Amino acid sequence: MYTVFKKIPPSIVALLLQFSAVAITLFSFRAAGWHSSPLAVALLCGMLAAAFSYVAGLAKWWWVIQLLFAPALVLMLAVGLPPGLFLAAFLLLMLVYWSTFRTQVPLYLSSDKVWQALEKLLPAVRADGFSFVDLGSGLGGVLTYLAAARPDGRYMGVEAAPLPFFWSWLRIRLGAYRNCRVRWGSLWDCNLSEYDVVFAYLSPVPMEQLWHKARAEMRPGTRFISSTFLVLDHPPQATVEVDDLHHSTLYIWQM
Ligand SMILES: C[S@@+](CC[C@H](N)C(=O)[O-])C[C@H]1O[C@@H](n2cnc3c(N)ncnc32)[C@H](O)[C@@H]1O
């Protein structure tokens, strides 16, 4: 059934289903003249929203979110926290996650063991150096580590979310990394022909589109590396297993 909504981001589908569950529950209570505690009504809303999400084919974690959303709302209202606190939390999360509801690529960071594995995949030292881009550069950890470890490279990051961008910009400025830059913007506006190594740690969602972009723009002999996420029907030429907490894998395509 989710194919019906395929073009709509799952977060919007979840919101619509939550609204429908609340409307149906409140309407049924009113029509039948039932009375119950707000928490019990919220629990019913949650169960209905979770059932709708299951039928709509949303991922499992949405079922849990849908189930708990209305009860959590009622409980939080009962605590009586100042409304400004919720606004502040919302603004903070918005600045960190920005367009995640649309891109379906949230912020999570690669481990220092991934950085070390990446260092081994950089081109050999040569007179004219090399260029590296991190598409969705998060807090700039990959860039600053590599910039220090291999100062013969030129490093660029592109990051869409304002707070991670600002954090990495500051990190680069304060660390005085002269061979490293970060740009606030979309990875889709990045010209990949400028780079010898393109690195991405995103999510399964953009991988097919990114693969087409890489194939169209990257120069022969350059290297595309994806952490964790494969491209369907296009097996990598090499993989590197990383012994970190998430057992990350680096997938490597030579263009
Ligand atoms: C999983 S994090 C990876 C962070 C970093 N590369 C690392 O390895 O630690 C993915 C990042 O990509 C960013 N992102 C998602 N879609 C993007 C887009 N279209 N353009 C630029 N950045 C994007 C997110 O905001 C997030 O910070």
Domains of the chain: 2-80 (no CATH), 112-254 (3.40.50.150)
Q: Please tell me the pTM assigned to this model.
A: 0.86
pLDDT of residue 5: 63
Q: How far is CA 14 from the centre of its chain?
A: 18
Distance from Cα 72 to the centre of ligand 1, integer Å: 29
200 lines ligand 1 (CB under 6 A): no
Long-range CB contacts for residues 71-80, cutoff 8 Å, separation at least 24: 71/39, 71/42, 71/43, 71/46, 73/42, 74/38, 74/39, 74/42, 75/39
> What are the structure tokens assigned to 22, written together?
């609340």
136 lines ligand 1 (CB under 6 A): yes
Distance from Cα 187 to the centre of ligand 1, integer Å: 9
108 lines ligand 1 (CB under 6 A): yes
pLDDT of residue 98: 86
Distance from Cα 129 to the centre of ligand 1, integer Å: 25
Mean pLDDT by 10 residues, the chain (255 residues): 68 94 94 91 96 94 96 91 91 91 88 97 93 97 97 97 97 94 96 98 95 97 97 95 94 96
pLDDT of residue 114: 98
pLDDT of residue 81: 87
Query: Nearest residue CA, atom 9 of ligand 1?
Result: 109
Please tell me the distance from the alpha carbon of residue 251 to that of residue 230, in angstroms, as a whole number: 7
Residue 223 is inside which H or E element, if any?
A: strand 223-227
pLDDT of residue 104: 85
Q: How far is CA 95 from the centre of its chain?
A: 13
Decide: 115 and 92 in contact? Cβ < 8 Å.
no
Question: For all residues of the chain together, what is the average pLDDT?
Answer: 94
Distance from Cα 197 to the centre of ligand 1, integer Å: 17
110 lines ligand 1 (CB under 6 A): yes
Ligand 1: nearest atom to the Cα of 136: 12
Distance from Cα 202 to the centre of ligand 1, integer Å: 6
Q: Which amino acid is at 203?
A: S
Distance from Cα 140 to the centre of ligand 1, integer Å: 10
Residue 212 is inside which H or E element, if any?
A: helix 207-217
- Collapse the DSSP code of 53 into the 3-class scheme (helix H, G, I; strand E, B; otherwise coil) and give the result: helix
201 lines ligand 1 (CB under 6 A): yes
Q: β-strands 180-184, 197-200: how paired? A: unpaired
- From the list 213, 97, 208, the residue with the least C-alpha distance to 159 is 97
Give the residue, out of 107, 146, 184, with the most ligand 1 atoms within 8 A of its beta carbon, to mutate for a pocket test: 107
